[in-house]
């Protein structure tokens, strides 16, 4: 994989960080992206460089076009982009629909959906064989919430992930002839600190009994699915979804 670059948005922690580590093990140069956690990003960068690959950490709010353009300039300086993992995302405190403000809903959509659109757009310009690229793979991190709707918790977050699912299908069909595959993973009940952000740090423990596998998942397990979709082992797969959800 020497000379190939993987960009993972929101990769200073959690699923994004584990995906970055795995891709580095397979020889990809890594572009870490973060918004508010420079110390965590720097620790990740140092850890990845121990794998013997190039790694840079770039601060950028990927819901804003000017910052995405700046991020991709850094990508171009590192090498040939062949993998994009759209992992950046937010949720807010658990609450019923009637208590969700317009400002909150708009912010969730902007961060979760616009970031995916903007980064995919810039990646496609570089990967597309129509534009002289060598092709590539884009993996979107959706959520099992796109199917359940997350009633009484965060229907705004679930709605944003439903949009990601639709975007994944549309982009996959449009870009297939240009050598670009687009797929998604849909995690659910994974042990990450996102649940603390939602105000329910024990959410996985509380709900894991509802899953056929009777346990929560790990970021590493989701990262393995991302890795498979990113690499040529899944070369006949596009517009598809892997549910990393314990059977949900």
The pair of three-digit structure tokens given for residue 108, joined into one six-digit string: 């969730």
User: What string of H, E and C letters represents the secondary structure of 25-65?
Assistant: HCCCEEEEEECCCHHHHHHHHHHHHCCCCCEEEEECCCCCH
Residue 181 contacts by C-beta under 8 Å, 6 or more apart in sequence?
A: 136, 137, 138, 172, 175, 229, 234, 235, 237, 238
Whether the CB-CB separation of 217 and 187 falls below 8 Å is answered with yes
Provide the token pair at 78.
């590192």
The C-alpha atoms of residue 198 and residue 189 are separated, in whole angstroms, by 13
By annotation, the residues acting in catalysis are 157
Report helix, strand or coil for 82: strand
CA dist., res. 179 & res. 183, Å (int): 13
């Amino acid at each position: 994989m020497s000379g190939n670059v993987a960009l993972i948005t929101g990769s200073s922690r959690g699923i994004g960080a584990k995906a970055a580590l795995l891709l580095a093990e397979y020889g990809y140069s890594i572009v870490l992206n973060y918004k508010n956690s420079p110390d965590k990003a720097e620790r990740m960068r140092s850890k990845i460089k121990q794998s013997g690959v190039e790694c840079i950490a770039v601060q950028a709010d990927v819901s804003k076009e000017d910052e995405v353009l700046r991020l991709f300039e850094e990508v171009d300086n590192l090498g040939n982009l062949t993998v994009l993992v759209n992992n950046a995302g937010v949720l807010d405190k658990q609450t019923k629909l009637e208590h969700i403000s317009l400002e909150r809903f708009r912010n969730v959509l902007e961060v979760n959906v616009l970031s995916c659109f903007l980064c995919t757009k810039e990646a496609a310009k570089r990967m597309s064989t129509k534009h002289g690229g060598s092709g590539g793979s884009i993996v979107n991190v959706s959520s099992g919430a796109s199917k359940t709707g997350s009633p009484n918790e965060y229907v705004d977050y679930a709605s944003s992930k439903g949009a990601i699912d639709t975007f994944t299908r549309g982009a996959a069909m449009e870009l297939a002839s240009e050598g670009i595959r687009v797929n998604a993973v849909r995690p659910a009940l994974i042990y990450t600190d996102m649940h603390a952000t939602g105000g329910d740090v024990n959410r996985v423990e509380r709900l894991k009994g509802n899953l056929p596998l009777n346990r929560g998942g790990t970021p590493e397990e989701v990262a393995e699915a991302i890795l498979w979709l990113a690499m040529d082992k899944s070369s006949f797969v596009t517009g598809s979804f892997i549910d990393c959800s314990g059977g949900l």
